[in-house]
Chain A
Amino acid sequence: MMKTKNIMIVGVGGQGTLLTSRILGGIILDAGYDVKLSEVHGMAQRGGSVVTFVRYGDEVAEPIVEEGQADVLIAFERLEAMRYAHYLKKDGVLIVNDQRIDPITVVTGMQTYPKNIIETLENTYTTYQIDAMKEAKELGNTKAFNVIVLGMAAKHMDFSKESWLNVIKSTVPPKTIEMNEKAFLLGYEGK
């Protein structure tokens, strides 16, 4: 029996975590696994800290990932990577998009944005980072940044490149297929 695999996607409400989880859900189901994805809708989507749990395996019961259980943590923003890093297993993999979005508590000077986040996390976890926003700009569409990050994370999951490309094709709006494929490969293969 396959041990349940736990993935988390964290970021800031409005960054498009829901599209990423839709692609992920699609590929897992195509591969014939049982799967549960748990998302955040509503108020937190307005710029709050958001988290999506994805669990797959032969049989999945609990829909959430708990502290110390995540195999892969995909963080769309640095501070959010730090907030949720303790959810990772000791040998878990952290994928972090090197972007800074100041929360209102920092903008108003009530709290500070931590320095050297990635360096700190690298000491504890296997960490891969990418400035996906920069890469996406070069691709010509900033919205593609989350698919770039997903591409980077995809290497640490159990699916072939072809199945990823297939599911992207069937999930994203037809007009954006080519751009999303490019974005995925950029993250998957590096430059």
Chain B
Amino acid sequence: MIEKKIMLGNAAIARGAYEAGVKVSAAYPGTPSTEISENIVEYDEIYAEWSPNEKVAMEVAIGASISGVRAMASMKHVGVNVASDPLYTVSYSGVNGGLVLVAADDPGLYSSQNEQDTRCVARAAQVPVLEPSDSQEAKDFTKFAFELSEKYDTPVIVRTTTRLSHSQGPVTLEDRMEPEDKKYERNPAKFVMMPGNAKGRHIFVESRMKAMEEDGCEFSINRTQMRDTSIGFITSGIPYQYVREACPNASILKLGMVHPLPRRLIEDFAAKVDTLYVFEELEPVMEEQIKSWGIHAIGKEIFTLQGEYSANLLRKAVLNESIDVVLPHQVAARPPILCPGCPHRSVFSVLNKLKIHAAGDIGCYTLGAVAPLNVIDTTICMGASISSLHGMEMAKGTDYIKNWVAVIGDSTFMHTGVNSLMNMVYNQGTGTVMILDNSTTGMTGHQDNAATGKTLKGNEVPAINIYQLCKAMGIKHVIEIEAFDLEKLETVIKEEVNRDAVSVIITKAPCVLLKGNVYPYKCKADTIQCKKCGLCLKPGCPALTKNEDGTIAIDETMCNGCGLCMQLCKFGAIEKVGKE
């Protein structure tokens, strides 16, 4: 079968896993990695799951590999931090069936809390890394990663970035391979990583990486393209495309494997060119190693450590071209915001009114940090809301957090928030935790989780009941409230923040974008009744604007009919009407 299709980088990675004969895939959603699993789910031959977090996903894939099948875990860069515990040790134990971790970095921070470089993690964990530069390579390298994994007895990281994951390009499809399952044999020296055994495996790891460094010089994914030798680039991934675009005549060593580096190949290339540039986004991972071998190269002296690169960046920095561009118009910024009808807006409008600080977490509700809601004070990582609130209390005393809550979503609570809540109970904190249960993982585009009652494959399963889960921890005060019930929210929040015991307030209303969640109403403003007080505008719903005369206008195509503005209006100037 030869068929060409235009595919998203992430879809191509999924296709690569399918063609490689992968049988198990586990992941936790996170931009820019989410679509890998959403595409894998299309292949019936692969068991695929959303795990509650990346550590669990990695361990599921490890188990599958030990049992003898090809397995894959995928996650965003910060997810790799969560999964790093198993990752560092599976590097020692190695694999049985091929094991691949897809790590999606986010240079430019399109949807992340930091700009970390997974290659640094890979070096520390001594795990090889492949880096594709377009959709076709995304598929091919993923397949090759499984070959390498089995040949060298190692997990392999396929590193992608937002630009690759979310770019589409042509891909030639091939049939699925059906590699035979590897036989499982009990082998504690390899798979039981206690000190005595791990010592032996550490020696193996060093020799494995050395062998890959040498063999890598012959891998077809590490390609030398000799052209004009006055300028040479060592590059990989998406930056390779910028080199091709800006300097089509330059010589290039394009590395498909960026760890370990194929030293001899690099030394040969460096000797053939007059000026050598190392062109890599984010950290100088290749550059520092290459320079440590005594090779003269130019890198971060002229290329930034931040954000994405471009062809124009090269034209300016290397070719000294002046780029003739028109200055952009200075126009109003348009940052992302909570959607019209979002239940988080309702909860935040109450917190804002009560002047309560919120220790925040990772999800759409992070958007509660900006004007006009200004409710979220902190965002660190998944699950940190509850534990950091606890830390504040232990530092400053119980009274200090009487005007604080922790705010976390249902999926993030299941991810790692649940551990933090256990800690608060165990160590006698008195924090108020608000779980904003919108029945989905919203920010990443609506994935199910253990509390929604549906799996990645779409099977209906018993949902883990968050209320009961909190109760089971021995928390006496667990309250469920409808997220749009402003009056009750206010009463309950006031009461719970002042209580000298842990309490959990679960606010419930499905995400307004969730499939099948269609509100039957729209809100309509009566400009005669409107007193122009602006109270309805305070929560910052994007469907509401002012008319020229200062009265309220509601955009009917944007309004989802949640009725928050109607509840806020003291003059009855907003009403809910049925949709036409």
Contact = CB atoms under 8 A, between A and B. Distances in A.
B537 A107 contact: yes
Contact of A103 (B166, B333, B537): B333
B542 A102 contact: yes
A145 to B, nearest CB: 9
Contacts of A48: 334-337
Given A47-B339, A83-B328, A103-B332, A34 B444 contact: no
B403 to A, nearest CB: 24
Interface stretch (A111-119, A157-165, A172-180): A111-119
B326 A42 contact: no
Contact of A68 (B238, B244, B323): B323
Contacts of B324: 68
Contact of A104 (B34, B169, B371): B371
Interface string B168-208: 11100000000000000000000000000000000000000
Given A47-B336, A48-B334, A107-B545, A62 B329 contact: no
Contact of B241 (A29, A43, A63, A142): A63
B486 interface: no
Contacts of A64: 163, 310
B150 interface: no
Given A61-B245, A63-B241, A103 B170 contact: no
A5 to B, nearest CB: 14
Interface in A118-134: 120, 124, 133
B31 A104 contact: no
A67 interface: yes
B285 interface: no
B170 A35 contact: yes
Given A36-B168, A37-B168, A39-B166, A29 B4 contact: yes
Nearest to A83: B331
B337 A49 contact: no
Interface in A92-116: 101-108, 110-114
Interface string B391-412: 0000000000000000000000
Contact of B544 (A41, A66, A67, A107): A107
B110 A35 contact: no
Interface in A8-50: 12-14, 21, 25-26, 28-29, 34-49
Contacts of A13: 336
A35 to B, nearest CB: 6
B111 interface: yes
A25 B4 CA distance: 13
B364 interface: yes
B557 interface: yes
B542 A142 contact: no
A46 B336 contact: yes
A interface: dominant SS: mixed
Contact of B163 (A38, A79, A104): A38
B325 A105 contact: no
A86 interface: yes
Contacts of B572: none
Contact of A62 (B168, B310, B331, B558): B310
Contact of B329 (A26, A43, A82): A82
A59 to B, nearest CB: 9
Contacts of A103: 332-335
Contacts of B4: 29
Given A29-B4, A42-B111, A86 B326 contact: yes
A60 B364 CA distance: 35
A47 B542 contact: yes
Nearest to B538: A108
A80 interface: yes
Contact of B332 (A35, A41, A111, A120): A111
Given A42-B31, A62-B241, A83 B329 contact: yes
B281 to A, nearest CB: 13
B542 A107 contact: yes
B463 to A, nearest CB: 25
Given A41-B111, A62-B241, A133-B557, A104 B323 contact: no
B311 interface: yes
Interface in B223-270: 238, 241-242, 244-245
A80 to B, nearest CB: 7
Contact of B6 (A29, A86, A110): A29
Interface of B: 4-6, 8, 31-32, 34-35, 110-111, 134, 163, 166-170, 238, 241-242, 244-245, 310-312, 323-329, 331-339, 364, 367, 370-372, 443-445, 537, 540, 542, 544-545, 555, 557-558
8 contacts: A26-B6, A28-B6, A42-B443, A46-B338, A48-B337, A66-B311, A111-B332, A124-B326
A-B pairs, top 4 by smallest CB distance, nearest first, are A42-B111, A42-B31, A48-B336, A111-B332
